[in-house]
Amino acid sequence: MLAKRIIPCLDVKDGRVVKGVNFVNLRDAGDPVELAAIYDREGADELVFLDISASVEGRATMVEVVRRTAGEISIPFTVGGGISAPEHMKTILRAGADKIGINTAAVNNPQLILEGARRFGSQCIVVAVDAKYNENWGEWEVYTHGGRKPSGIKALEWVKEAERLGAGEILLTSMDADGTKDGFDIKLTSAVSDLVDIPVIASGGAGKIEHFYDVFTAGKADAGLAATIFHYKEIGIGDLKADLKQKGVEIR
């Protein structure tokens, strides 16, 4: 079994880190390069940068942020947001990112997963899935455009298809749990983890150290991702890892 990973997530807008609840009400949380360096020192296993202002101007800003970050940290980091072509992937990877996160563009053009995996390797392609429970279906629906647009696609079918096309990892965000601090969506995470053979990064809802234990055991996730609790020092990465090790979770 792979050792579990702890991954802080930095939502970057116009070159600054921001954080909200249920994808809205954003507030400033600091400089991305400074935060990345702090997380590296504190023992984070990886980082995820999501460019949430990914216009053309936003992408240019993000390339510079990626370049500066790569010079400050030694852990792998994933960059996503507005990446819709292999050439965009190449630009971000050349700037120093280790992996590319794709979400809306992959839903709109699933062949992008295949093309990215062929050109850069499956290990570089992280398919991000924003999922929300659909009462009418009795299962989860994929949302795109930063969680604003329902796609009509069933999340469990989509993760299986993403794996088939060559995704190396699934970054799974529960929109129902996001920012609530009530815990990860265990039902969703375990359903996806049972379905695919590639690693699943659980995102959305972390508020306490116990939530990570739950998502690694009951949720069967390979990594736990969070933002607010790390940015505002509510949980220290060192404390979190020590607690998980004490409880018998194999951690990086």
Q: Which residues are catalytically annotated?
A: 11, 130
Residue with tokens 């404390």: 239
Sequence-ordered list of residues with C-beta below 8 angstroms from that of 71, at least 6 positions apart, any chain: 96
Judge whether 142 and 131 are in contact, CB under 8 Å. yes
Rounded distance, CA 89 to CA 125, Å? 9
Judge whether 49 and 32 are in contact, CB under 8 Å. yes
135 alpha carbon, distance to own chain's centre: 25
Rounded distance, CA 179 to CA 1, Å? 29
